[in-house]
Amino acid sequence: MTTPFPQLPAGARIHSPKSRGSALGTAELLAELTARAGALGLSQLAVTSAAPLEQAATRWQEWLTHGHHGAMSYLSDGERADPRSLLPSAKSVICVAMPYATNSEFVPANRLAGKPPEAAQGQLAGYAQGRDYHPLLWNRLLALADILADLTGEAILARPCVDTAPLLERALAARAGLGFVGKNGLIIAPGGTSLLLLGELLVDFELPLGAAIKDRCGECTKCLDACPTAAFVGPYVLDAKRCISYLTIELQDAIPRELRAPIGTRVFGCDVCQTVCPFNSPSARARAGCAPELASTRDGLSLIGLLELGASRYRAVVRRTALRRVSRVQLARNAAVALGNLGDPQHTAALFRAALEHSSVLVREHAAWALGRLGAESELRTLCDSQQPEPVRVEACRSLAELLDRAAHAT
């Protein structure tokens, strides 16, 4: 009778050595692993134990209790503070980071005089300007597990995690000493930047552990002060419900009205609390570099194109990018808001068409709001009087009332 092969935890794999190992002491082993990780494009590597994160677990629970996670109910799933909930035999967590570039601060203002309506661009967060990093980082973590098996000469059971697994990855990276958590809640590497994509490799092997490093924000509050939607409750504490990343990527429903204007022309995420950070100065970014595969290929997308996105064009736009996380309707909704914020009357016709005809009532409602921002009184009157779905009619009438009120106060 054959013994059944024991079932491995989801996502875990055994990495068998291809050599007998290289009799290194633990410190040399870690140094060699770090050097080999660097050659793979993983600019930072630090190790922490697989023991649960106790303080971070308490802070996380408080954050959830306050409801700062909004509609992201999946964040309360799983034992995020305990790596062993993902790999019960884990002994160490190897935390890595891969730098990425962003052109966000270089996006020129949408100056449209003399240009066609399609020229208006919606901004993308830096990490979404190039290729999707998830498969790239995942494959590098697998390669790192192979390297560890070869260096030790032992079979390694490993489980890679790339931000989709329920794990408090920033808290783990901080405990490992990969960087410190800035007041914007992001990991800032010493001598580096916060423009980092984090990954973790859970392994059933004991490696020398790193130590947390001191927060170096000092008196600075630039990120807190610059946030367009005032999303920080205080240092280190984000109310995700107000964050533009949440509003444009996670939220499936209507964007709260009072938060639409500060979104500006961003259609996927936001980088403001990173671009203002002194640790992300141009010279620091130049030093940190960017994984060539993640180089920015586009910093924006045509807003009219997004508003009128069909199913096949949608697939082409999001293919192999982090934009896959949002639906066609979300992109069109975000484009309507951005066009409203751009305030250029040459977009009235496209927005009116969307308000009347888009297949999604959600998009039609946001297009009606945008028409109000453009001062499109006659179009709003048509939407108010017609047999529109309730949310569209209500939004059009409210926007019209505001428009008339502004006009009355201007005279």
- Interface residue with ligand SF4 among 221, 252, 359, 386 (CB under 6 A) is 221
Residue (51 or 226) nearer to ligand SF4, CB: 226
d(CA 325, CA 72): 13
119, 213, 276, 361: which one binds ligand SF4 (CB under 6 A): 276
- Integer Cα distance of 31 and 28 in angstroms: 5
Shortest separation between residue 266's beta carbon and ligand SF4, angstroms: 8
Task: Please state, in angstroms and rounded to a whole number, the distance separating the CA atoms of residues 334 and 306.
Answer: 8
Q: Does residue 184 bind ligand SF4 (CB under 6 A)?
A: yes
Give the span between the Cα atoms of 98 and 201, in whole angstroms: 14
Single out the segment in contact with ligand SF4 by CB under 6 A; choices: 115-123, 146-154, 239-247, 318-326.
Answer: 239-247
d(CA 260, CA 349): 21
Q: What number of chain residues touch ligand SF4 (CB under 6 A)?
A: 23
Sign of the alpha-carbon torsion through 250, 254, 256, 258: positive
Q: Label each residue of 120-175 as H, E or C.
A: CEEEECHHHCCCCHHHHHHHHHHHHHHHHHHHHCCCEEEEEECCCCCCCHHHHHHH
Tell me the window of 176-184, 308-316, 348-356, 378-386 that interacts with ligand SF4 (CB under 6 A). Answer: 176-184
Q: Shortest Cβ distance from residue 301 to ligand SF4 (Å)? A: 18
Q: Is 255 in the site for ligand SF4 (CB under 6 A)?
A: no
Q: 104-113 burial string, b = 16+ CB within 10 Å, else e?
A: beebeebebe
> What gap in Å lies between CA 350 and CA 382, rounded to an integer?
15
Rg (CA), the chain: 24
**Shortest distance, position 277 Cβ to ligand SF4, whole Å:** 3
Q: Is 378 in the site for ligand SF4 (CB under 6 A)?
A: no
94's enclosing H/E stretch is: strand 92-99
332 forms part of the interface with ligand SF4 (CB under 6 A): no
Q: Between residues 250 and 395, which has the closer beta carbon with respect to ligand SF4?
A: 250
Of all residues in the shown chain, the one whose CB is closest to ligand SF4 is 182
> Is the CB of 137 or the CB of 227 nearer to ligand SF4?
227
Residue 244 is a binding residue for ligand SF4 (CB under 6 A): yes
239 is catalytic: no
- The residue among 223 and 309 lying less far from ligand SF4, judged by its C-beta, is 223
- Indicate the residue among 11 and 228 with the shorter CB distance to ligand SF4: 228
268 counts as binding ligand SF4 under rule CB under 6 A: no
Count of CA atoms in the C-beta half-sphere (13 A) of 140: 29
Among residues 77, 82, 163, 299, which one is catalytic? 163
Rule CB under 6 A: is residue 273 a binding residue for ligand SF4? yes
Smallest gap from Cβ 300 to ligand SF4, in A, equals 16
* List of residues 6+ apart from 408 with CB closer than 8 A: none
**CB closer to ligand SF4 out of 202 and 227:** 227
Which residue is listed with tokens 């996927």?
268
Least distance CB 109 / ligand SF4 (angstroms): 18
Tokens of 102: 């962003």
Nearer CB in complex with ligand SF4: 110/274: 274
Q: Which of 36, 49, 11, 44 is nearest to 144 (CA)?
A: 36
Catalytic residues: 163
What is the contact surface with ligand SF4 in residues (CB under 6 A)?
A: 182-184, 217, 220-223, 227-229, 231, 238, 243-245, 270, 272-273, 276-279
